[in-house]
Amino acid sequence: MAKDKNQPPANNELELSLFGPGIGECGVLHLGDGKWCVVDSCRDENHLPVALSYLQTLGVNVAVQVQLIVVSHWHDDHIDGVSDLLREAKSARFVCSAALNCKEFCTLLAAGRAALLIEENSGVSEMRRVLEILGSRRGSGGLCGPDVWAAQGTSLYKAAVPFDIELAALSPSAQTITDAKHTLASLLPKAGQVVGQLPSMAPNDLVTVLRLETACVNLLLGADMEVGEDKLRGWRAIIEFVKNRPTCIGRAYKIAHHGSENADIDDIWNELLHPTPTAVLTPYGRGKQPRPSSQDIARITRHTSDVYCTVWPAWIRAPRRHKSVDRTMRECTTQRHAIRRTPGHIRLRFGPGRPVTTLVQLFDGARLLSAAS
């Protein structure tokens, strides 16, 4: 199994590898010809960016061969370790949502400067480090914006060798970008307030959904996109956008928002995907209702029987602790889940002789889900 995991794809093979330990998510794409893209970031059991560990295991020259690093949105479980990855991927262009391209977001980052000293793993700290790395590369010092602000219809990568391929953003929509500026303004801290984490914005309309397309294969990466209030926002806006643009349908789908009901509508499956796509997802083990729930799995498996999860269940049996420690934890929270440290790994590969079918490989606890799971 280890030998299989360490086998790099052929130059003319596509790959989608999805990693997730129970809280955290990272996608790694082989774009052909030894070129790679990383979408979001989480850490492995050695506290290294999981994408960095995996690519180095394959013998990839990360400094040269990683072409893009995309952050779909700012939530901590999607950006942990991305600055460490960017530091090594010296040739990579950095991409994030155009909904953050406003002075209000920059003000939030500036307000979080003190967080670098008190909260090394906060969202503010991670994003600040990314923008400082970009600034140092361009010789400007301080914070510097991403190489690409992704919006609906933005082409992020194109190549003709060894096959025609394009990676494009399907979101955020124009209305979402407008909405974000107003929402971010309401999140600005008061004078003297330190921002330790980037505040959450609900619903998750501003995330960057991606589509990787060739003549035979289309991969849809749903990030944490939610349904949206109307046809100008969320998945509803994506459906309207794609309806007017002929394209091949998706053979594989990275399910949005850990399989949550608020990120799923029938039109995703009916309009954007093959009738029997290969679906992959990461679980989320935090909170009162970890995802995917049994109801989520039953709903998803009505659309396809090929549903794979990076680890399942998302949580493990809690370790034994001293009684006083246990008592303190019960006083602090009513919901506790012990999360796995080793990310599970789902790998999909498409290549010559496999234009329709998908080679699926499961590592480190990844498994096929069923309605009875």
pLDDT by residue (tens digit) across 116-134?
A: 433 444 567 788 889 899 9
Kindly report the pTM of this predicted structure. 0.88
- The β-bridge relationship of strands 210-213 and 148-150 is unpaired
* Alpha helices, H only, the chain: 2-5, 50-57, 62-65, 76-79, 82-88, 103-111, 115-118, 123-137, 174-187, 234-243, 266-271, 294-301, 323-332
CA dihedral 73, 121, 187, 333 (to 10 degrees): 100
Q: To the nearest whole number, what is the mean pLDDT of the chain?
A: 85
Question: What are residue 107's phi and psi, to 5 degrees?
Answer: -65, -40
Centroid of chain to Cα 219? 14
Confidence of residue 71 (pLDDT cuts 50, 70, 90): very high
Query: In this model, does residue 369 exceed pLDDT 80?
Result: yes
Query: In this model, does residue 239 exceed pLDDT 60?
Result: yes
Structure tokens at 3: 């030998």
Reported as a single tens digit per residue, the pLDDT across 292-303 is 999 999 999 999
Reported as a single tens digit per residue, the pLDDT across 179-237 is 887 776 665 555 555 544 555 555 577 899 999 999 888 999 999 999 999 999 999 99
Nearest to 237 by CA among 150, 148, 153, 149: 153
- Residue 4's pLDDT is 85
Burial degree of 54 (CB within 10 A; 0-12, 13-18, 19+): buried
Residue 358 identity: T
Query: In this model, does residue 327 exceed pLDDT 80?
Result: no
Q: Is 85 helix (H, G, I), strand (E, B) or coil?
A: helix
Please report, for the chain, the start and end positions of each structural domain, with discontinuous segments joined by +.
Answer: 15-369
Nearest to 172 by CA among 210, 138, 137: 210
Omega prior to 8 cis, within 30 of 0:
no
- Residue 356's pLDDT is 59
Least confident of 67-71, 74-78, 335-339: 335-339
- The β-bridge relationship of strands 315-316 and 338-339 is antiparallel
- Residue 77's pLDDT is 87
Query: In this model, does residue 325 exceed pLDDT 60?
Result: no
Out of 3.60.15, 3.40.720, 1.10.150, 3.40.91, select the CATH number for domain 15-369: 3.60.15
Task: Considering only CA atoms, give the Rg of the chain.
Answer: 20
Higher pLDDT, 304 or 332: 304
Q: Is 278 helix (H, G, I), strand (E, B) or coil?
A: strand
Structure tokens at 284: 């989320």
